[in-house]
Amino acid sequence: MEPTIFSIMDEEKAGRQAIGAIGYRQDNGSSHDTLLHDFEFLILVVHHGLEERGIRVEHCLSGDAHYQLLHLDCGDIEDWVIAGDNRELVKSFLHGEIIWDIAGELAAFRSYINQFEDGIREKRKLKEFAKFLMMYSEAKKLTAAQDLLDAYYSVLQALKHYARIELIEQGILPESRVWEQVRSLNSVVYKLFDELTDNSETLEQRIQLVLLACEFSLTSKMESCCSPLLRILGSRKEAWSIQELMQLPELVHVKDELPLVLRRLVYRGLIKESAKTQKESKGEQRELRYWV
């Protein structure tokens, strides 16, 4: 990064809670990055303990250089890694140049994210499994309705989530170019990707073939991928309601997919359900609860 850009990165400009900044420039010859737009480079100012979470954007000029300045919190970055969100931002954070660092805090935090330790890895694996299951279910429904083009898209997305699970199982943090990452593993999922995209069978036959393989993989990986959820369900004697589970901070990243995952776990016999009677003004209602 240019010295002029480095020189603006001080506490007054960045804010008291900033721990450092990362500069990211698009590679020569590559297409325009969705984050960079027509700017020459991107600067991520990383904070710790911001009161207001979320991305704050500034468009800046230093000399003749146009750049985009994004203010991020460490907690948000970790949440994105767990949920698989904002992949371009995460890529910029992981591969950009550290241009300003207070007492090595930013380098230490990036090293922590890069190490992809068990706690983060387990949560990300559960998220990818939940998305895998959701896209597989959507693809099955669309195939049954003979909506084959949408089914093709859904099964392709299901395979992407499957591919990320394969990477996570190898201790690799999935990034935006997942097929490039998984190609070198010589894994089942890449062969399924080939079967879906480059095969002489009809579109429906290719979709059905891949769905069959996905069903087997979902069943075989379910227990290991859902281990954080299974531990929570077994952590107390009393059964859990869906609402209690959805409110847990440990499961907030799978809140949208949790109902589907729970029903699948019941169907496969990995968890049990029971009904608790609740008195309502218009009679009695039996609420389903889940336990191991």
pLDDT of residue 27: 64
Q: Mean per-residue pLDDT for 275-289?
A: 74
Over residues 9-65, the pLDDT tens digits come to 555 556 668 999 999 986 654 545 566 667 888 999 999 988 888 999 999 888 888
Mean residue pLDDT across the chain: 90
Q: Mean per-residue pLDDT for 174-202?
A: 92
pLDDT of residue 241: 97
pLDDT of residue 61: 86
Burial of 5 (0-12, 13-18, 19+ CB in 10 A): buried
Nearest partner of 130 among 118, 119, 140, 138, judged by Cα? 138
Let me know: does 101 contact 58? Beta carbons within 8 Å.
no
pLDDT of residue 199: 86
Let me know: does 58 contact 26? Beta carbons within 8 Å.
no
pLDDT above 50 (res 4) = no
CATH number at 5-115: 3.30.460.10
pLDDT of residue 28: 54
pLDDT above 50 (res 3) = no
Q: What are the sequence ranges of the domains in the chain? A: 5-115, 118-234
Percent of the chain with pLDDT over 90: 75
Q: Using CA atoms, how far apart are residues 86 and 58, in angstroms rounded to an integer?
A: 18
CATH of 118-234, one of 3.30.70.120, 1.10.340.30, 1.20.120.330, 3.40.50.300: 1.20.120.330
